[in-house]
Chains A and B, each alone.
Chain A
Amino acid sequence: MSESDPEEPVLVVTDLRREYADKVAVAGLSFDVKPGEILGLVGPNGAGKTTTLRSIAGILPVQQGSISVAGFSVTEDGHRARYHLAWIPDDPKPFDSLTVWEHLDLVAGLFDVPEWKSRATELLDFFSLGDKRDALGGELSRGMCQKLALAMAWLPRPKLVLMDEPLSGLDPRGIRTARRAIQEIAASGTAVILSSHLLELVQQLADRLLIIDEGRKAFEGTLEEAHAGFQIPENSSLEDVFFAVTEKPKGAEPEA
């Protein structure tokens, strides 16, 4: 794919289905994300958000359907697809035998990042981790782990960043920094999928919403489209939309 075509999706998910022995986690989900776009992924507990993100990141094998990242199929060309994405789990545990600086060194090696040291220094300063440069991963607080995970994700300038509850464990200052980081990551042309239960934050950051419920797409579009589609007042928040979407009778679709 071309480097800077803003209309060509970075991520294309087609008819993704994932089953476990006793339940269907994702049931035929299809969506795409364009460069520089922030997609807010919301849904109740157990809706299939983390399973979807893990399938995109290549962590879970794709049972049915297809996923392509930057033009590479996650199933057939997994390592090339993963080269273009970064995954931030909800509880990112750093490696306890590496220092903060060495975590960035590791990422630079994994993603073949040239001239990484100056950028790594900038990132540590951005996330206020400069004084923790030589601290081991096991010595970091939960908030610092989150910030380190964000720095590691941003270092190789991936085309897609997958974030699963990226703000859990952060203090107010950390939340502000992380919010700014997400906006800057997107501004640099990277697509972001932001999965979170903090609906206010998703409303502030996301360009588009994907609400899933019981593994199915319940709504995809902007907040304004949701207002119109579900016939709710224009100044309603994402929280109102969320309840309108997830509590509607099964099978009901938004009006066009």
Chain B
Amino acid sequence: MIAIPSAGLRRLMLLECRGYLRGALRRLKTPKGATFALLGGLLLAVWLRSLFQSPDVIGVGEQAIAREGTGGLPEGDLVLRTLCLGVLVLVSISGVVTRGIHIPPERLERLLALPVSRSDFLRYRLWSVVARTMTGAPILAVLAMVRTNSSGAILLAVPLFLGLSSVLGFLASLLSAGMESSPAFVRVTDKLRSGGRFLLLMLLLLIPVVTAGRAAPELLPSWLVGTGASLMETFGQVDFPALIRLLSRPLDPFLALAQGSGAASLFKNGSLCILIVLAVLELAARVPVDFREMAIEGAKSSAKRIRSAGSVGRAASGGRARVGLFGVPHLFGRGPMGAVAWRKLSGIWRKARGFLGISLFLGCFLLFGVRLIFGGDLFRVAQAGQSIEDVTYLNDIGSAVLALLGTLYLTNGLRFDFREDLVQLDILKSWPLQPWKMFLGSLLPQTMAISLVVSALLLTWLLISEATGLFILLLVLALPAVVFAWVAVDNIAFLIWPVRFVPGQAGQLQHIGRGLLLTFARMTLFLVSFGLAACFGALAWLALIRVESLGPEGLITSVALVVLGVLLAVDCGLAMVGGMAFARYDPARDRV
């Protein structure tokens, strides 16, 4: 049958659906599951309430026509078209990035061995994807109805559009996977990759030149300024509303359904939309791509992501290791703790070189942004005649912003910590060293790598700005202690309460509730750690402010040293607590 899976696969879908509901009910019956579900439900309710109560409403349909020309709100139809196109672009990009079909590994081989045709199997998968998308559709549909002041027809339009977008995402995923396995495509991408590397290198060279050029504009070649200006001018002349209308023409039936009123419009546009969704679904089912190998590969990578706590899969530690030309030096000595740290350093060196390269590239952008905002040029223009100290003050804020953003980005991106080792924690626990040494040794290399990259950014900032050298020096000195505290708190929370979740896994509501509690616990630990250092710093300030012989710089240095000392003490405490958390971690209780 066109667009509908065969009877056996329909039965399987029904049983899967029943199993999912049974599992959800079973989880609700346990005290822990019910508590987390309640918390998650509360959080969702608060979020939805805030969305519904938000005052800005986009008018569509007849109301939009009445609103046009008032200048208060953008044209509703155009906003809807832009949103729909945005969703389709995002879904397609996500499909291209994920590539192939993702089925849990425990079910994959049994499913692939079923006596059904390839297109029938794809229909089954497509309907499963559509059904999963539909679970969130009612909330989104009601939200869309309230936010757009539209008629009830949007309640049908939103689920149909979401169904279409999920099918298109699946199609993009299949096509990209099919292309990837074609030898011609591999040849072209290899060439593009080398071209991309060259372009990246050029950009890396260009950014410092441009950044330096801002400090001394006479160094900037005039053609560069001219090219930028003319590009901006051309960009400004594009008629974007017309372009968006043109690109979204295929979505007209969905938009007409969303904006129309009356039974005739509902019937005509609704039928047309259903036909479009079914047609695209059937088209996707007939794409001549052999997905079996990709599905097996996809299942392996999903399983790896589930095993390694989900988030790691997207961080540099979840990447593939490559042996370089040189061995990794034993930077931390050859004892047991040195060996632990060396293993982690090897991971960073072999998996995160690309990430660190991109980080430096992004760091140049960050420097550029900070230079624009905190560079002082705008300030000077606005308040001519201001003294250099004012600009220095702005530059110092820039230093702190640079350190904060760099640290946040790298701590989330690297993650060479206990999350990475989740499946090997039993082996790690059998190693002959004290737990606090294991904790410290495991987190030191990541702390060092992050501190080095952020310090490099700060030193570059010092060269191109008028920031206080002493302030940057203190920041660089404090960085390792702060980064360690940050990473340690995160890992302590993880070892005490290892949460593992990836999209598509059962128990979403419980996960939201558990995530809320965990975030609260982490923030409390962070606040206690950094608050303690701040309190001691304030006490030192109050005690030393009367000592005139110190001078302003001496005072700042003394207070900073006290804060640094307290931070180091906090780090030692965290290493001990982390060691205890590692020692009490029970791999036997480890369940996904």
Which A positions have Cβ atoms within 8 angstroms of B? 20, 25, 51, 54, 57-61, 78-80, 82-87, 89, 92-93, 95-99, 102, 106, 108-112, 134, 136, 138
Contact B426 A89 (CB under 8 A): yes
B583 close to A61 (CB less than 8 A): yes
B515 at the interface (CB under 8 A from A): no
In the complex, which residues 205-248 of chain B have their Cβ closer than 8 Å to any Cβ of chain A?
none
**Residue numbers in B under 8 Å from A87 (CB-CB):** 426-427, 430
Known A-B contacts A79-B433, A136-B321; A112 and B336 likewise in contact (beta carbons under 8 Å) = yes
Q: Does B546 contact A (CB under 8 A)?
A: no
What would 5 A/B residue contacts be, using CB atoms closer than 8 Å? Answer: A82-B430, A87-B430, A96-B320, A97-B350, A102-B346
Q: Given A98-B346, A109-B338, are A134 and B323 also a contact pair (CB < 8 Å)?
A: yes
Q: Does B351 reach chain A (CB closer than 8 Å)?
A: yes
Q: A80–B432 contact, CB under 8 A?
A: yes
Q: Do A59 and B587 have beta carbons less than 8 Å apart?
A: yes
Complex formed: what's the CA distance from A199 to B321 in Å? 39
Q: How many interface residues does chain B have, given as a range?
A: 35 or more
Contacts of A138 in B (CB 8 A): 320-321
**B424 contacts A by Cβ under 8 Å:** yes
Tell me, rounded to whole Å, the shortest Cβ–Cβ distance linking A160 to chain B. Answer: 11
Total of A-B residue pairs, C-beta within 8 Å? 90
Interface contact B588-A110, CB-CB below 8 Å: no
Of residues 389 through 443 on chain B, the ones whose CB sits less than 8 Å from some CB of chain A are 423-424, 426-427, 429-434
**0/1 per residue, B339-353, Cβ < 8 Å to A?**
110110011011100
Roughly how many angstroms separate A106 CA and B431 CA in the complex, as a whole number? 11
Please, which residue of chain A has its CB at the minimum distance from the CB of B338? A109
Q: Out of A60, A83, A96, which one reaches B321, CB within 8 Å? A: A96
Interface centre among B338, B339, B342, B423 (most CB of A within 10 A): B339
B342 to A: closest C-beta gap in Å: 7
Most buried by A among B340, B346, B347, B350: B346
Candidates A95, A98, A110; contact of B432 at CB < 8 Å = A110
Interface residue B584 (Cβ < 8 Å from any Cβ of A): yes
In the complex, what distance in Å separates the CA atom of A136 from the CA atom of B330? 18
> Are B429 and A109 interface neighbours, CB within 8 A?
no
> A59's contact among B334, B343, B350, B430, by CB below 8 Å, is which?
B430
- List residues of B (314-330) whose CB comes within 8 Å of A's CBs: 320-321, 323, 327-328, 330
Q: Are A92 and B320 in contact (CB under 8 A)?
A: no
Contact of A109 among B335, B583, B589 (CB under 8 A): B335
Contacts of B429 on A, CB cut-off 8 Å? 57-59
Roughly how many angstroms separate A97 CA and B586 CA in the complex, as a whole number?
25
Q: Is the CB of A109 within 8 A of B339?
A: yes
Q: How far is the CB of B452 from chain A (nearest CB, A)?
A: 19
Question: Are A58 and B323 in contact, CB atoms less than 8 angstroms apart?
Answer: no
Given contacts A109-B330, A110-B336, A112-B335, 14 further A-B contacts (CB under 8 A): A20-B588, A25-B588, A54-B588, A82-B432, A84-B432, A87-B427, A93-B423, A95-B343, A96-B320, A97-B343, A106-B342, A108-B339, A109-B335, A134-B323
* B586 to A, closest residue via Cβ: A60
Complexed CA–CA distance, A47 and B109 (Å): 30
Contact with A along B568-592 (1 / 0, CB 8 A): 0000000000000001101111000
Chain A proximity of B77: nearest CB distance (Å): 52
Q: How close is A84's CB to chain B, nearest CB, in angstroms?
A: 8
